[in-house]
């Protein structure tokens, strides 16, 4: 079994949760629930489950060139500019319903509003100031959320990729569940236990294994493999992690979730592609955890593997979760995309991208605050 670096676990929130528990403090509700009964039995019947946890299909271990002591030294003394030097430019204001076509609005990190043929889906919603079991410690936002939850168009479906704190946020889930009773939640196996702990009714939750699918408001949602891990407390891999296929009548979107690069992308492209747009994780990479977070170059390769038309990079620029400079991911993505002939759009947080009417060239907006 591959042992993940401690700093990787901390980035996923496990280190903070462990600190809270070991310090003898009350276990916060944000840690979530535990699968029991029929839910646990279904998880244990999954082909991805063995030895008491979920496993990746392929996990190639690449030894880190950085020791733990070297990581701590880099964290303290590294010269990378890990924060913007000014206010990140945002596109603020209410978001309108788009009745036709495929539109994506990056709201920061991996939170994306996807509109397909008039249906509204929200991916990995995180509105909290910190991605942590506590709002007093943990990675803090580098920029505000550009749009209040109440200013979103009515959300039909919330889609979760996995249960790490920078992707599954208790306060955001609770508010979304209360704003609109018709909103459904589509999640990987086991994640529903967290949602039920936070008050989401079981009949509003669809939990899927890899290659299982459901249809909500005319949109087909397929849970597809990713190469990552999960956990919000002291244990790991007790819930599944996924990438997602989102397919409407006239548009198709691929969302990578958090993942290392692996052969599964080509298989997803062959089985479910081509896609109009890919939303691909490109940040929080490091030599210490190459198998569970893609580099920007691997992100471009994954985009090409799934056979997508345009790539929108996500999982960068909002939380400082690694050692690289805050805007390095998109700079490297653009270079690699030009080399590989891929089309990339890098919107400002809150800026809507109409897949049928792409902007010409890059604005390089991040350079004004780098």
Summarize the confidence of residues 237-260 as an average pLDDT.
97
Condensed to tens digits (0 to 9), the pLDDT of residues 86-135 reads 999 999 988 988 889 999 999 999 999 999 999 999 999 999 999 989 88
Judge whether residue 140 has pLDDT over 50.
Answer: yes
* Cα atoms found within 13 Å of the Cα of residue 157, Cβ hemisphere only: 26
Query: Which has more pLDDT, 134 or 236?
Result: 236
Nearest to 11, CA basis, from 138, 157, 113: 138
Write down the pLDDT at residue 177: 98
For the chain, the average pLDDT equals 90
Write down the pLDDT at residue 307: 98
Q: Is the dihedral of CA 189, 194, 198, 202 positive or negative?
A: positive
* Highest CATH level, class, for 6-369: alpha beta
Q: How crowded is residue 150: how many other Cβ atoms within 10 Å of its Cβ?
A: 8
List, in order, residues 6 or more apart from 271 with CB less than 8 Å away: none
pLDDT class of 9 with cuts at 50, 70, 90:
very low
Q: Is the dihedral of CA 194, 196, 200, 206 positive or negative?
A: positive
| Rounded-to-integer distance, Cα 348 and Cα 366, Å | 8
CA distances from 197 to 84, 120, 124, 268 (A): 36, 25, 18, 32
Q: Residue 299, SS3? A: helix
| Rounded-to-integer distance, Cα 48 and Cα 44, Å | 9
Domain ranges of the chain: 6-369
pTM of the model: 0.92
Rounded to the nearest 5 percent, the helix, strand and coil shares of the chain are 25, 20, 55
Question: In which residue are the tokens 């890059």 written?
Answer: 362
Helix or strand (DSSP H, E) at 123: strand 119-123
Summarize the confidence of residues 186-203 as an average pLDDT.
98
Judge whether residue 30 has pLDDT over 70.
Answer: yes
């Amino acid at each position: 079994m591959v042992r993940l670096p401690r700093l990787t676990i901390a980035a996923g929130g496990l280190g903070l949760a462990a600190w809270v528990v070991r310090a003898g403090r009350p276990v916060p509700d944000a840690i979530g629930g535990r699968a029991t009964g029929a839910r646990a039995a279904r998880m244990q019947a999954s082909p991805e489950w063995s030895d008491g946890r979920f496993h990746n299909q392929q996990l190639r271990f690449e030894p880190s060139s950085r020791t733990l002591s070297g990581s701590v030294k880099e964290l303290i003394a590294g010269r990378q500019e890990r924060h913007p030097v000014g206010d990140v430019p945002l596109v603020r204001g209410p978001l309108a319903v788009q009745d036709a076509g495929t539109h994506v609005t990056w709201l920061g990190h991996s939170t994306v509003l996807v509109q397909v043929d008039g249906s509204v889906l929200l991916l990995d919603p995180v509105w909290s100031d910190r991605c942590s079991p506590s709002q007093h410690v943990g990675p803090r936002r580098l920029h505000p959320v550009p749009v209040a939850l109440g200013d979103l168009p009515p959300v039909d479906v919330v889609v979760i990729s996995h249960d790490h704190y920078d992707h599954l946020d208790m306060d955001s889930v609770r508010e979304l569940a209360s704003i609109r009773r018709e909103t459904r939640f589509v999640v990987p196996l086991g994640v529903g236990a967290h949602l039920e702990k936070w008050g989401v009714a079981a009949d509003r939750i669809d939990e899927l294994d890899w290659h299982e699918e459901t249809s909500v408001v005319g949109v087909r949602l397929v849970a597809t493999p990713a190469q990552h891990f999960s956990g919000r407390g002291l244990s790991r891999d007790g819930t599944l992690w996924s990438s997602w296929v989102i397919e409407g009548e006239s548009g198709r979107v691929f969302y990578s979730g958090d993942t290392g690069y692996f052969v599964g992308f080509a298989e997803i492209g062959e089985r479910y592609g081509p896609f109009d747009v890919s939303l691909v994780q490109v940040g929080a990479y490091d030599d210490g955890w190459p198998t569970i977070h893609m580099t920007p170059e691997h992100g471009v390769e994954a985009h090409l593997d799934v056979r997508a038309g345009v790539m929108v990079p996500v999982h960068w620029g909002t939380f400082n979760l690694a050692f690289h400079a805050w805007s390095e991911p998109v700079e490297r993505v653009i270079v690699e995309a030009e080399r590989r002939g891929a089309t990339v759009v890098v919107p400002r947080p809150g800026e809507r991208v109409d897949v049928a009417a792409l902007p010409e060239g890059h604005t390089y907006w991040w350079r004004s605050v780098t």
